């Protein structure tokens, strides 16, 4: 029931509806917000109609309509405060007035029409509501929000308030933060409400109390169903900016065949190229390729509640990324056009010391990118790069073998290394096409490299041999990539040995070219050597492997395993889990901003001719290779960190171990820190799930939850719907495993592979994205070989990215590695719906406490001299999984979601 409130009345104004609110000053209580609007009942058509005149209802709920209460009733006045987040353009204007009509709305106190809905039906099964208009109150300069106020006259027998329906009387959309009533009821909105002139249906918001479908109050069931239905759409038509519709489509918009047939790309998603689904936009199909959707130069459609660009600061991730892609990159292209390789390594250093002089740029670009764009107040601007931490701490770390190995455990891509479990190493590709499957890395080569430590058999048996294996994934693309200008490719294997000190040392690199043009398969093994020629060949072989690892990192570890696979989770959650469903409210913080970033990626990063294709080794085949990785490697049941480690042989199950697994490499910073975060997430998820699902049968009988999981498996990831490894969803433990995996992927996993990008790859010799020339000893001419012998440094610089490729990547990585000033870190802030439940609030505070402890644990680990993979002279300490960070490029911090 309502809490006791002031100003009870028994008003004749409740007898009849007022078709227009009083202009301010005319109401007897001096309210300008139509506090005298009538209480309304929503009545099923099967119920006998009241003789009273029906009031207008814009709700589309089933067979329900509104009627006026035809009797005098005692009421309580309840005040409501609506908080509106201004757009950036209107933030300093003082009043939200878009045109004359909006000014009249403010004057008449008709800014928004709110209709409260009771959780209870009346004795005849009718839905009870009460309306009031809200009017503009003030701009709070301290927190930069607008407030509106309204007064409701609520009958004392109204019951608990369960929902509110909102109609926006303005001509423009408004971003509702929340609606707070002075009787303790809060509606957390965080949503755009479109103008009634654009969208006629009222917006529905539920209170912060969560309900399973079976527990939904009877009076709210139809609203719950209506709100979900409004988010699904019918799969037809082109989406408009005001839509909130979430449905699926294949990746058929990466190519641009209408611009050039050379920009055609295969559709990703379907039997030929399996892939997760994206959000459908419904744009017209190409006239040149009926399977491809047309592209626009404007940002692609995303549901309006996923678009935060109008209410975030200038340094919001999506905004800064857009600024780089559409302002900085074109400038760099024009200035550096015609330049090829860096002539000397000192010229690379100039990027950090002096920068690149460019024509003057717009001031707004500089404010969005203060780290990158300097000197805008002068006649010329300078794009000057900050010195990456790896370079700042040790200028020559990129040259050393021990750092090459260490970064496989504590660098940018620490989730590719795997244990060698079988010997000899063999390819699974067709030998008729790709040549002999046996690796050229022989037992004898390994024995020669590790002979002073142990025998080969001992190393294999004691799990001391590890590798990066990009052989079978890359080899099918080698001949195709080599037909592209300015790039080359090999299949590669890199073998490593775990020393007694817990560090890795390189054993061998194998590069393979399949048969082509009448030439047989070519493969060569390189090892660390003590002669000049061998040493330079080894450095070049490492450059090729690093370009492979960079491509795999960006396309698979980063884009596929976080951004891409998460979009179907977001779509399914909005389509099938009501806003009042507890699992929706658990997951939503992990989904914010992701669809907007993904749409920008499709627009200018992973598209045909975009940054990724232009600067990474596979070129135009980048996304096709990504599809192959999804088909061959991705499994939902391997995405939780412990399962991922076990699948790569980096851990075994051990109930006696702190996290239930024993690591094959004890000093594995990514795994050590990641397991702390994963365990904290899982414990939080367990407390949350067990609170709302005290019995297992509640999980299996939750129709929204089952539809959600079915949608993820059979539609969002429909190309893998028949795989046997999909987890069942029958018990609380099943649900805990599923949501923990999703929460880890969007927070810990993404942070580990994203926020170190500039520190580790900003100095591109440390992680070149492309190797542009083949190895000097692959079918060399006499002239090529002599060039290599005379100036091996020139050959390495020619192999590295060109000047325009390097600076483009550096610009993008600077933005991708940066936290915005209002970043939302894991465990930092409690969601209002969690705070509303004391048990959930207590569980979250425990979660928050564990994360706070983790900060200190990581600091201690980084200062431990015995942990040589994270502590030592010139090493960048491993901080990528420290939960919290300042804004900017810091190399630490774990946001809730994939926010950049």
Please identify every residue annotated as catalytic: 558, 563, 750, 754, 900
Q: Which residues face 84 on adjacent strands?
A: 146, 176
**Alpha-carbon torsion angle 713, 717, 719, 721, nearest 10:** -10
Write down the H helix ranges in 314-439.
317-323, 329-336, 345-353, 363-368, 389-393, 401-410, 431-434
d(CA 382, CA 690): 56
End-to-end Cα separation, the chain, in angstroms: 44
d(CA 12, CA 22): 16
Asked if 505 and 405 touch (Cβ cutoff 8 Å), the reply is yes
Please list, in sequence order, all residues whose beta carbon lies within 8 angstroms of the beta carbon of residue 392, skipping any fewer than 6 positions away: none
Other CB atoms within 10 A of residue 145 CB: 18
The DSSP bridge pattern shows strands 161-168 and 651-653 to be unpaired
Q: Please, what's the b/e burial string for 191-203 (b: 16 or more CB within 10 A of its CB; e: otherwise)?
A: bbbbbbeebeebb
For the four alpha carbons of 247, 251, 254 and 260, in that order, the dihedral sign comes to negative
Please list, in sequence order, all residues whose beta carbon lies within 8 angstroms of the beta carbon of residue 143, skipping any fewer than 6 positions away: none
d(CA 340, CA 802): 5
SS3 label, residue 471? helix
R_g of the chain computed on alpha carbons = 30
Tell me the C-alpha to C-alpha distance, in Å, between residue 801 and each of 321, 339, 641, 825: 22, 11, 33, 34
For the four alpha carbons of 324, 330, 332 and 333, in that order, the dihedral sign comes to positive
d(CA 843, CA 376): 49
d(CA 314, CA 464): 49
Tell me the C-alpha to C-alpha distance, in Å, between residue 796 and each of 221, 245, 436, 527: 67, 51, 30, 17
Asked if 808 and 330 touch (Cβ cutoff 8 Å), the reply is no
Other CB atoms within 10 A of residue 462 CB: 10
- Which residue from 389, 396, 491 is spatially nearest to 437, judged by alpha carbons? 491
Write down the H helix ranges in 693-824.
696-700, 703-711, 732-744, 750-754, 757-761, 782-790, 792-799, 803-816
Place of tokens 């699992």: 583
Asked if 767 and 513 touch (Cβ cutoff 8 Å), the reply is no
Three-point CA angle 575, 578, 580, nearest 5°:
160
- Which residue from 502, 499, 414 is spatially nearest to 449, judged by alpha carbons? 499
């Amino acid at each position: 029931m309502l809490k006791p409130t002031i100003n009870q009345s028994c008003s004749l104004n409740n007898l009849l509806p007022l078709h227009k609110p009083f202009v301010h000053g005319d109401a007897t209580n001096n309210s300008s917000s139509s506090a005298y609007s009538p209480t309304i009942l929503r009545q099923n058509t099967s119920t006998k109609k009241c003789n009273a005149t029906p009031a207008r209802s814009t709700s589309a709920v089933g067979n329900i309509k509104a009627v006026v209460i035809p009797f005098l009733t005692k009421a309580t006045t309840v005040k409501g405060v609506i908080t509106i987040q201004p757009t950036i353009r209107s933030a300093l204007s003082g009043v939200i007035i878009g045109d004359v009509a909006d000014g009249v709305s403010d004057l008449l106190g008709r800014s928004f029409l709110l209709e409260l809905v009771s959780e209870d039906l009346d004795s005849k099964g009718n839905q009870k509501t009460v309306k009031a208009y809200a009017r503009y109150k003030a701009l709070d300069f301290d927190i930069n929000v607008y407030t509106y106020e309204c007064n409701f006259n609520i009958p004392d027998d109204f019951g608990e308030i369960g929902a509110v329906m909102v109609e926006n009387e303005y001509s423009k959309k408004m971003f509702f933060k929340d609606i707070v009533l002075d009787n303790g009821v809060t509606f957390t909105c965080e949503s755009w409400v479109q103008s009634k002139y654009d969208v006629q249906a009222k917006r529905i918001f539920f209170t912060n109390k969560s309900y399973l479908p079976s527990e939904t109050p009877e009076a709210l069931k139809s609203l719950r169903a209506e709100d979900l239905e409004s988010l699904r759409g019918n799969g037809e038509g082109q989406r408009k900016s005001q839509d909130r519709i979430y449905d699926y489509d294949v990746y058929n918009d990466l190519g641009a065949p209408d611009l050039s047939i050379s920009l055609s790309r295969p559709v990703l998603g379907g039997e030929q190229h399996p892939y997760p689904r994206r959000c459908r936009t419904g744009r017209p199909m190409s006239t040149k390729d009926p399977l491809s959707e047309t592209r626009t130069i404007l940002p692609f459609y995303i549901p309006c509640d996923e678009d935060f660009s109008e209410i975030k600061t200038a340094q919001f991730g999506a905004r800064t990324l857009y600024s780089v892609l559409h302002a900085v990159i074109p400038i760099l292209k024009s200035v550096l056009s015609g330049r090829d390789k860096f002539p000397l390594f000192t010229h690379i250093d100039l990027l950090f010391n002096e920068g690149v002089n460019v024509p003057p740029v717009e001031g707004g670009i500089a404010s969005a990118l203060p780290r990158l764009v300097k000197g805008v107040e002068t006649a010329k601007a300078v794009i000057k790069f900050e010195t990456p931490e790896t370079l700042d701490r040790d200028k020559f770390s990129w040259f050393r073998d021990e750092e090459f190995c260490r970064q496989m455990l504590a660098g940018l891509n620490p989730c590719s290394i795997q244990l060698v479990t079988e010997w000899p190493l063999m390819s699974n590709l067709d030998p008729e096409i790709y040549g002999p499957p046996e690796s050229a890395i022989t037992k004898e080569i390994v024995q020669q490299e590790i002979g002073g430590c142990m025998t080969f058999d001992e190393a294999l048996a004691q799990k001391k041999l590890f590798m990066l294996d990009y052989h079978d994934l890359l080899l099918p693309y080698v001949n195709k990539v080599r037909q592209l200008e300015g790039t080359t490719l090999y299949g590669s294997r890199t073998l490593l040995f775990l020393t007694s000190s817990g560090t890795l040392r390189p054993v061998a690199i194998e590069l393979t070219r399949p048969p082509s043009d009448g030439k047989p398969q070519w493969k060569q093994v390189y090892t660390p050597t003590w002669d000049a020629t061998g040493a330079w060949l080894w450095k070049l072989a490492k450059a090729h492997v690093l370009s492979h690892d960079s491509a795999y990192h960006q396309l698979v570890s980063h884009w596929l395993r976080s951004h891409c696979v998460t979009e179907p989770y977001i779509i399914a959650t909005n389509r099938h889990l009501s806003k009042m469903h507890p699992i929706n409210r658990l997951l939503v913080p992990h989904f914010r901003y992701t669809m907007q970033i993904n749409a920008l990626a499709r627009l200018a990063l992973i598209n045909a001719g975009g940054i990724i294709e232009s600067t990474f080794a596979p070129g135009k085949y980048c996304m096709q290779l990504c599809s192959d990785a999804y088909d061959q490697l991705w499994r939902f049941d391997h995405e939780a960190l412990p399962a991922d480690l076990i699948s790569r042989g980096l851990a075994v199950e051990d109930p006696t171990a702190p996290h239930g697994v024993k690591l094959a490499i004890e000093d594995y910073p990514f795994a050590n820190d990641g397991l702390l975060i994963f365990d904290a997430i899982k414990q939080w998820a367990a407390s949350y799930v067990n609170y709302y699902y005290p019995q297992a049968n509640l999980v299996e009988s939750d129709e929204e939850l089952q539809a959600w999981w079915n949608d993820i498996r059979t539609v969002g990831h429909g190309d893998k719907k028949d795989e046997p490894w999909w987890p069942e969803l029958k018990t609380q433990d099943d649900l805990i495993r599923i949501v923990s995996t999703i929460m880890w992927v969007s927070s810990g996993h993404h942070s580990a592979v994203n926020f170190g990008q500039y520190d580790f790859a900003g100095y591109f010799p440390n992680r070149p994205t492309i190797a542009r020339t083949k190895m000097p000893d692959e079918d060399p001419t006499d002239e090529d070989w002599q060039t290599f012998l005379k100036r091996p440094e020139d050959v390495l610089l020619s192999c590295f990215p060109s000047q325009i490729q390097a600076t483009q990547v550096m610009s993008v990585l600077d933005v991708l590695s940066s936290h915005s000033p209002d970043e939302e870190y894991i465990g930092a802030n409690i969601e209002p719906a969690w705070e509303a439940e004391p048990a959930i609030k207590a569980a979250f505070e425990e979660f928050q406490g564990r994360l706070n402890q983790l900060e200190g644990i990581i600091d201690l680990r980084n200062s431990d001299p015995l942990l040589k993979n994270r502590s030592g002279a010139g090493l960048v300490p491993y901080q990528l999984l420290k939960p919290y960070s300042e804004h900017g490029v810091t190399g630490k911090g774990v946001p809730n979601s994939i926010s950049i």
